[in-house]
Structure 1
């Protein structure tokens, strides 16, 4: 089964908790704090495996969670960091955040890696909080929660050449003729519903990878038929080979087919118009093909080099392969995402992170005041509210960051309920 899209949930491992501990050694009175830090949680890392050709594995497993870091130990010993979790994906996988649609990465080469969810740092032990005013702190942090997100995986086939055209124009037959690929061939529409790849050898020794892609219909750019399932794969190809049924065996006009397919490709992504295109007049062994070819050349005003072939009789196939190989020698590499688009996305990401740092806002939920903000929710999760010193530190940070004064401005009074994430507190003056 060929699967080219998947949505999965990933969560980095939580950091290990720091601990409260003191030196208890003979002949060392008042040994001081000795609680170690927790270890870092494991990352979730995608890695390219060139042996994979589909996202089928993600159809059966959609949740991935890395291990948490080890807790801190006595004698100032650091807890062990958790191992990262590696998830294999096929080359050509594009990764985006499924909720924010933020571009995360484009993996095309074997062994290439991308961290999609970072593990949390370990919490600090009490030895980190010692000071001149508090030489025996009974305070330790919990580990930082690991990053969690839903990600969208989208596979875009890596091929040098993509065959495009209406259903039943002979794309699969042509691929089977020029390569060892064995695509399904039958006399009905949409016989090909997933991309088929074949390595094509040119008589002069050159070679390239050709993809037989599912047939297009009018409205494909809006998702009609196999629409986007086809068009996402053509984005990677360096040369587009437009196959036409020049015999008009289904009563369609080859020229009208040519215009409609080009328009659908343009509407999906206007930059695809910049790709080198080779036009193939297929089924030249059938009646009316010669007459239709002359008419087609007149209608296109000779703007395109048209190669008459027959996938059945192999007529003109060698000339076509030479033309494709020549076009590939000067064609740009489109195997990765457009750099301008990536740079714009990264700039927006940096701006948003800077803007959200230390930011919080207050809303009302019935009688409760709800404090929202990524940093304050993380602070709650990393605070051990069973330790008196930890609670005092939490209150001090709330005051320093202006949360207390903001609540008062919103009307909070003694005894009112304050909610932060999954925690609830009583407001105390």
Structure 2
């Protein structure tokens, strides 16, 4: 399915009632945690006891009785001591118009893998740019920080729908409109090289609250929405409902075998598409055809179920189905792959060793895999690809993989769930890479 068909067919979710998942990303001390704290504080999204605990915190970085809002998300003691975010912190809050789940991700380069984790399920990303850190050149240009480029690249690779550029700490440059416009121009030029399209920029000060929830008096030249107004208005597209059926089997459910009416159902979560009683399916990778007899849930049987629902599917035919298999639409099955081309973000401090075998986890399936080639590594600064013979922590590269058992997979751009995978070290059992299937040969 091409991009234009996707754009025409994908249903829109009502922005006033839907859930929006978003992440904050940026360099160290750009104000990510403070921004989220300001969102929670000004939108009444925190409890009185949380506020009291933060007010008494011994590691706060504010003067006098001023609340250090960053402590609302920096929950680890090491984070509070060092004044940095180390792990991904998830927070929930709601306004009268919408519900939100926020992932506050680290800014340190060594924790880029945590940012990948937080971004994998996000609908939007807030890229924070600290005006006090960017270099304003004499020729009128701006040098963006490497982490700004790195996080934007990951957002593009993970196909995050909306990008919000929050130009933070505007109070440090006396709310200078020219500085803001130069930064936004530089970011848009970089984003164009990536292929990012839906970009909205906002000038703000998370510390003082200008343009976060309340409009800033000193930013009168800015006529756009505040950050919360923008987040409330973003439309979340749910492409998964229009995609072909993909149902990775998690568990085979049976009675104990002593009952006359023996029951065999296949439990899992519908990752894309929909399924109805009577539908023709194909079991992958075996290729056996089957017909849906019943769709069972905890509350009873359903005639139809769609993406996001966890169900048990009962088939008319007795076919061999196991954990790791995928029930797919017979008309539009997944592609069976043993050789895969994918983009990966290397997450391990141990570099990639082409001589080693790894476990590849794809949906509910786990199989042995070997990286056969590093096609190219991506230079975050220039967005150019070049040859490489090794991958180290946080590198982004295109690689070729060989898997022991065929995968029922799709390109990540088409269906995220069956286009994503992780690589696991077979000795340490640590996750070493997150991957997105791009091109593949059956």
**Structure 2 length as normaliser, TM-score?**
0.35
Larger Rg: 1
Q: Identify the structure with the greater strand proportion.
A: 2
**Structure 1 length as normaliser, TM-score?**
0.35
